[in-house]
Amino acid sequence: MIDVLTLYFLFKSTWVSLLTPLSSGGVQALNFYINIYPASATPYELYKHTGLQLSSAYKTVKSLARRRFLFQDGRGYVATAKAALALYYVSGDVYALRSLKKMWSLEVRDEALLAYLVVLGSALKKLGFDVTAAYICKPTGAAMYINEFIRGGYKSLHHVLGVPEEVLKESYETHVKILEGFMARYNRISLLLRMRGRAVDILAVRCPNYGACSHPFPEECPEVKKLIEEVANASAES
């Protein structure tokens, strides 16, 4: 397994071109809004609870909202998943990472989510998106950007995006968790497939012994391979 510190530095190096720098006031504001999430607060309440001047509080909130770190909810503003991601990038505070888990409604290990952010950042860079333009406030949006580059199976992202295999293995838990609601059940296998002509892409899969088997990637399970071969043959005959 890859350690958290290594993953964090990989995350930082991947996202450096995707996040514009935050001012000290911006960091204060993100801390405030993430700490009260899912509650909303006005710029005036931000001013009352931080050392920011009133005019700075209003300007900062407007700036963060334009970058989609906050969204307006009535008179107040609420932190988005992008806010938690940006704060984690700046601070490395595990609370921000766990806030992202809360916003995405995910129950995964810290390492699994952090590795997934490395994969996501690599996909966004390849597509030419930054954090403001990307639709990642919901985890399914993040997964769709990654799915764009899967060719055959999740392991292919090593060659397509240049993500180390150790990071892909660590991140797979998160990818499957996000997509489990879209997966179909075949015998003892749960999976989500995409057809590209006669090619079959395994976007997500849980093999019969998922989590306990010795296969680096579930797509390498013999039972999964057999099922995919059957699907490919059926597609070729149709």
Boundary residue ending a domain (37, 56, 91): 91
- Return the closest-CA partner of residue 175 out of 231, 215, 118, 220: 118
Angle ∠(148,116,66) on CA atoms, nearest 5: 80
Asked if residue 217 belongs to a domain, the reply is: yes
Same domain, 153 and 49: no
Looking at the DSSP assignment, which residues form a beta bridge with residue 199? Answer: 196
**Which residues form the domain of 39?**
6-11+18-91
pTM: predicted TM-score of the whole model, two decimal places? 0.94
Boundary residue ending a domain (70, 91, 112): 91
193 φ, ψ to 5°? -115, 160
Same domain, 124 and 57: no
Same domain, 113 and 80: no
Asked if residue 165 belongs to a domain, the reply is: yes
Boundary residue ending a domain (91, 112, 135): 91
Which residues, other chains included, contact 118 with Cβ-Cβ below 8 Å and sequence gap of 6+? Answer: 7, 10, 11, 14, 163, 167, 171
CA distance 19 to 87: 11
Amino acid 101: pLDDT: 98
Asked if residue 1 belongs to a domain, the reply is: no
Same domain, 137 and 232: yes
Same domain, 62 and 167: no
Angle ∠(59,65,70) on CA atoms, nearest 5: 120
Same domain, 70 and 185: no
Asked if residue 99 belongs to a domain, the reply is: no
Structure tokens at 83: 């806010």
Same domain, 220 and 143: yes
Question: For the domain that residue 82 is a member of, what is the CATH number?
Answer: 1.10.10.10
Same domain, 42 and 125: no
Asked if residue 218 belongs to a domain, the reply is: yes
Same domain, 81 and 120: no
Asked if residue 229 belongs to a domain, the reply is: yes
**CA distances (Å), origin 25, targets 38, 61, 87, 93:** 21, 9, 12, 17
Asked if residue 97 belongs to a domain, the reply is: no
Looking at the DSSP assignment, which residues form a beta bridge with residue 201? Answer: 194
Same domain, 117 and 221: yes
Count how many domains the chain has.
Answer: 2
Query: DSSP labels for 88-114?
Result: HHHH--HHHHHHHHHHTT----HHHHH
CA distance 218 to 59: 48
CA distance 116 to 109: 11
Asked if residue 98 belongs to a domain, the reply is: no
Same domain, 35 and 60: yes
Contact at 8 Å (CB) between 146 and 176? no
Query: DSSP labels for 223-238?
Result: HHHHHHHHHHHHHHH-
Average pLDDT by stretches of 10, the chain with 238 residues = 91 97 97 98 97 97 98 96 98 96 97 98 98 97 98 96 96 96 90 88 84 76 84 69
Structure tokens at 47: 């001013």
Amino acid 210: pLDDT: 67
CA distance 163 to 131: 19
Same domain, 82 and 154: no
- Return the closest-CA partner of residue 218 out of 159, 162, 184, 175: 175
